[in-house]
Every structure is written in structure tokens, then in C-alpha cells.
Structure 1
Amino acid sequence: MTVTPEVLRVALALAAASVPVLPLRRGKVPFGNCPSCKDGACGGRPNMKCAGTCRCPAPCHAWAAATTDPHVLSSPMWLPVWREAVAVAYHPGGAGLTVVDLDDAAAVAWARETLPATRIVPTTRGEHWIYRGAMPSSNAVRPGADIKSRMQYARWLGPGVGRMAALPSAVRALVVKEDTTPARGEVASSLPARASWDRTVATGCRHTESYVRTGLERGLTLVRARTESGAGSQAFGVARFLAAQHTACPGPCGLAAIGEEIVTAAVSVGVPETYARRAVANGLEAAVERAA
């Protein structure tokens, strides 16, 4: 009896629980692409960031090949790979999950002091903290900590222990990477002038224009005040707070326009536009999920 049947058995059990899985070879890495997919020749999988047209039946493209289809997992193209596989990986984002990967004792200690308790899976060097809810992935969000969710895979190390909690805003905020504002004269982005929020984009909002504008201006002031550090995190918090005020509205409330104003404020104090947009989008999404 080889290890391959056991690896495949675990994969099929996870797939039956709606967890997309893929095989890992020695070194805890996915198998390489087939010749037709090598170097992006196929255009990439349709569910990747740069969506292509590839529908290769082999387990190419790492996390993007993860599947819950038992017929694919047991297909002639996958069976030879399972015979060489040494572990099973899963795509957290595809299962609606986020894994906070803590690589050492210091990172674990930080999580225990900072993050809400949730399901924990011991790893070789640290722990995986698993939350309900998906978000963008990002490595090295702080010393010894990675976020694995969308567009990444995590190694399956067992079901873990503890009750799984909803993805908290404290974890979402970790993907905002900027710690300091660039020195004066170093422009991170130059955004064109954008229309501000008004009632024309908020026909379903139950609040007065004065109420919304007052709250928004206070939030923008908080973001602009972060000229040395933390403007991205502040933008996340402002977006989350303002969006939460509209969860009971029939809508639309023009949250996209509010978000654009927050992004512009963050960029004006040196936050790279990519980070600003990510922080604001995560903040708006966090408010919606919290209200759900």
C-alpha cells in the first residue's frame, strides 16, 4: 500500500465537503504545468486574475486548478499526479475561507493577543487560523504572517480545533501594506478629479445629504491627517464605518462614490493607489458582511 491512495482519499473527502483541492509534490509545491500550459502559452485559467481560456484537463496552474469535481480528481490526467503527490492542498478562497498562516512562535503569540479566536490547525512551525469569509491574499503582512485566501493555496493538515469565526476586520486590514507615507515630492499616484457624492447617486438612501456629507468629510479629515503613517489603515476604517451607516437603506446609496472620495484622500497623502483601493474595497465589503 502506497501513500497515494490515502492522499487521493483525503482529497475526495474534502471535495465532497465543497473544499476545492489539488495535489502537492515534494517540497509542498504544486505540480508544474503541462507543455501546452507552460509559460502562459494557454492564456491561463478562466478563474485566474488575468482570466484566459485554458481548460486543460491536467492539474496545471496551481491553486486555479483546485476542484471539487470527483470525476476530475480521479481522471486519467490526475491519477498519475496523485501517485507522485505527498500532500493535499486546498484553495481557501474557493471554499469561502481565509487562512492566517503563522510561521513561528512570535507570530502565534501576536495572533493570540490581537485576533478573535477561531479554528486553529497546528503546523510544523506555527499555526493556521481559519476564518469564514474570503479576501485578497497577501504574503508577509507582518513578521511571520501570511494571508491565504483568494488566488493562493494552503496545505491540508487536518480539520483543526475550535469554532470557526467570521473573518474579522482586523485580518482584512492586514493587507494594507503601506507603513509610511512617501516623502514630499514622491507622488504615489495622480488621480483625476472625480465627482463627489450627492443625492443623484443615492436615490435609495434614507439619510439626508447633510448627514452623509458631514460624516464623509469627518472621515476624509481623519485620512488626510495621517501624513506620516497609517493612512491606508485609516481609509479602511473610514470606509467600513461609513458603509455600516447604510446597511438598513433600501439603496442605492452611492457607496462607490463615497469610496472614490476616500481613495482620493488617501492618495493625496502618499498612499499608493493600489493599496488605497484595496483598503477601501475591503472596508466597504467588511461592513456589508458584518451586517449580513
Structure 2
Amino acid sequence: MTQHPTPPRDPLTTALNLARSGVPVLPLRAGKAPFGNCPACTKNACGGRPNMKQTGPCTCPKPCHAWAAATTDPTVINSREWAGAWREAAAVAYHPAGARLTVVDLDNTDAVAWAQAHLPPTRTVTTTRGQHWIYRGTMRSTHDVRPGVDIKSLMQYARWLGPGTGRMILLPDAVRTLIAREEATARPTPGVASSTPAREAWHRTVATGCRHTASYVHTGLDRGVAMVLARTESGAGTQAYSVAAFLARQHAACPGPCGLDTLTEPIVAAAVSVGVPEPYARRAVTNGLAHTTGEAA
């Protein structure tokens, strides 16, 4: 795809076109922000949607909870409950991980210049201030991995600005290690405790005894995450266990260490994003990785 087609003027039409191609969408109001929650969902009084990180029972039919409202269901997108938002919508957003994508959001010309020097070329979309570089595969979303650079994938939304130009490639290690570097240098915030301790991404320094290439490991992980994300109705927890067990089996003949524990977070995040309670998802993945050694809890 080398040319931008003329985008439909109606955000609803754009959203329906994207949904038909498997991209989960939601409306954005002026200012590039999602629509606020309805009174029943304000301040998460509803308990949150089942596919949010903090899982809950909310089944609100309105476009509440930002990225977690993104859907490919035309019945929902065309529903009476979403109609008011579409009448006021200034743009369309999409959930990158729901389409098995990662967006590197480059917010200014300096960030774009850095990407051109350090990241492999991929599908590129021009934004109001910079560019979106889009890769196939998912990972954890993080803001400010370096000046002017955000990662948008799991549990995030990105504004739809057109299909872009260039050939989309598989998510490279150069992007994944941005988060590993950010986690290694980030300073803890006083008084703030995280329920999910940060883990670095898989890379060679934690896998000195692994016989596989980084590309092999990340390709397998991306395919596994995609399989978990596809379980939107049921079975995501079991799929997460199966993916983790499969990955562990691939390393059974390695002399080790292989750093398999660093592969857990993307699988857990994918399971949580489709409704699996975090403790269950984490236990399933941990047991899957330990399956080949008989250490499952």
C-alpha cells in the first residue's frame, strides 16, 4: 500500500470499515480523548470491564472504559448506545494489540530522526506532530521510553490516521529492548507500589545458555500471544497455559539459562486483556513454563 485513500468524512464509516478488517475500534472526542464513562461506570463504580487489567463484571453497552471498549462487532458499533458518541466523534481510535500490532508513537521530528537511525523501517503513518511506526506483534505499552517516543500495544489505543505507507514487518528486538532499557533505568516513585513487578524483555543477556536466536524466540512469543488474544469468548487462561508450556518445550534441549521467566508478562497481559483474572492468568503461565520440569504448582 503506497498511497493514502481519501478517508471517509464520517468517523462511523471509518470505524465500520476497520472493524470488518479485524481492527477493534472506538470513538474519540475532540482532543483525541475517549468519551467519558457513563454515570454507572464513573470512577469505575461498575467494577471495570472484564477485559481490563483490573478485571470486573461491567457489561455496559456504552463506549465506556476507553481502550477496553474497542470492538469489531458491527452491532455494538452501530448500536443506539454508541450513536451519541459517533455524532460527536472527532476521530476514530483502535486497540493495536487487538489487531496484533504495536505502534511506536514518535511525537516530534527529533523522535522521527532517532527512529530512522535506530529502528528497522516498517509501515509508517504521518501524524500531526510526527509519525506512527507500526509493527506486527504485541508487547507491553509504555510511555516515554525515550524523549518523544511511546509504545502503544497491549491495553492502549492509538488514533487511526490512515493505512500509512511501506511494508509492515515483525516487531523487532530494537523496539522490545526499549522497554527493557526503560525498566532498568526507571526510578521507583516514592509511596507507589505496583501489583505487577516490572520484568525486562527477553534478550541475550538473560539467555546466555539458550541455543535459539532472538528472532525465533520472539516470533514464537508473538504467535502465542496472538492465540491468547483470539480467545475473546472463553478459554484464554487455558490457552495461556498451553502457550507457556509450548515455549518451555522448545527450550528443553538448551543447556540454559534461557530466561524463560522474562516471557511471562506479554502472555499474562494478553490473557488479562481478554478477561482472565490476573492471578489466574499468572498462575496458568507460571505452571505452563514449569510443565516440562514437573514443577507446576
How far the C-alpha of 1:240 sits from its partner, in A, is: 5.7
Q: Do residues 73 (structure 1) and 71 (structure 2) align?
A: no
How far the C-alpha of 1:178 sits from its partner, in A, is: 3.8
- Deviation track 1:165-206 (CA, whole Å, cap 9, x = no partner) reads 000011111112145498xxxxx9xxxxxxxxxxxxxxxxxx
Q: Do residues 124 (structure 1) and 91 (structure 2) align?
A: no
Question: Which residue, 99, 103, 107 being the options, matches 2:111?
Answer: 107
Change in Cα spacing, 1:160 to 1:242, as seen in structure 2 (3 Å) is farther
Give, in whole Å, the separation in 2 of the partners of 1:9 and 1:92.
19
1:205 corresponds in structure 2 to none
Question: Which residue, 131, 139, 164 being the options, matches 2:143?
Answer: 139
Q: State the aligned residue count.
A: 220
Residues 143-182 of structure 1 aligned to structure 2 (within 5 Å): 143-176=147-180, 177-180=182-185
Give, in whole Å, the separation in 2 of the partners of 1:141 and 1:278.
18
2:290 corresponds in structure 1 to none
1:24 corresponds in structure 2 to 28
1:83 corresponds in structure 2 to 87
Change in Cα spacing, 1:180 to 1:60, as seen in structure 2 (3 Å) is closer
Question: Which residue, 96, 99, 116 being the options, matches 1:95?
Answer: 99
How far the C-alpha of 1:43 sits from its partner, in A, is: 1.0
Deviates more, 1:18-27 or 1:244-253: 244-253
Question: Which has more radius of gyration?
Answer: 1
How far the C-alpha of 1:243 sits from its partner, in A, is: 4.9
Alignment-mate amino acid for residue 96 of structure 1 = R
| TM-score between both structures, scaled by the size of structure 2 | 0.65
How far the C-alpha of 1:236 sits from its partner, in A, is: 3.2
| TM-score between both structures, scaled by the size of structure 1 | 0.66
2:249 corresponds in structure 1 to 251
Give, in whole Å, the separation in 2 of the partners of 1:42 and 1:180.
36
Residue 103 of structure 2: SS of its match in structure 1?
strand
How far the C-alpha of 1:99 sits from its partner, in A, is: 0.2
Q: Which runs of 4+ in 1 moved over 2 A?
A: 178-182, 235-255, 257-263, 276-279
Give, in whole Å, the separation in 1 of the partners of 2:92 and 2:115.
26
1:223 corresponds in structure 2 to none
Give, in whole Å, the separation in 1 of the partners of 2:146 and 2:44.
31
Residue 77 of structure 1: SS of its match in structure 2?
helix
CA contact (8 A) 1:19 1:90 kept: yes
Give, in whole Å, the separation in 2 of the partners of 1:121 and 1:100.
10
Residue 155 of structure 2: SS of its match in structure 1?
coil
Higher relative contact order (CA 8 A, sep 6+): 2
Q: Do residues 64 (structure 1) and 68 (structure 2) align?
A: yes
Give, in whole Å, the separation in 2 of the partners of 1:149 and 1:27.
21
Q: Do residues 237 (structure 1) and 234 (structure 2) align?
A: no
How far the C-alpha of 1:80 sits from its partner, in A, is: 1.0
Structure 2 gaps, min length 5: 1-6, 188-192, 194-198, 218-246, 270-297
How far the C-alpha of 1:158 sits from its partner, in A, is: 0.3
How far the C-alpha of 1:115 sits from its partner, in A, is: 0.6
Give, in whole Å, the separation in 2 of the partners of 1:175 and 1:26.
30
Residue 166 of structure 1: SS of its match in structure 2?
coil
Alignment-mate amino acid for residue 77 of structure 2 = L
Change in Cα spacing, 1:79 to 1:240, as seen in structure 2 (3 Å) is farther
Residue 112 of structure 1: SS of its match in structure 2?
helix
Alignment-mate amino acid for residue 171 of structure 1 = V
Q: Do residues 7 (structure 1) and 7 (structure 2) align?
A: no
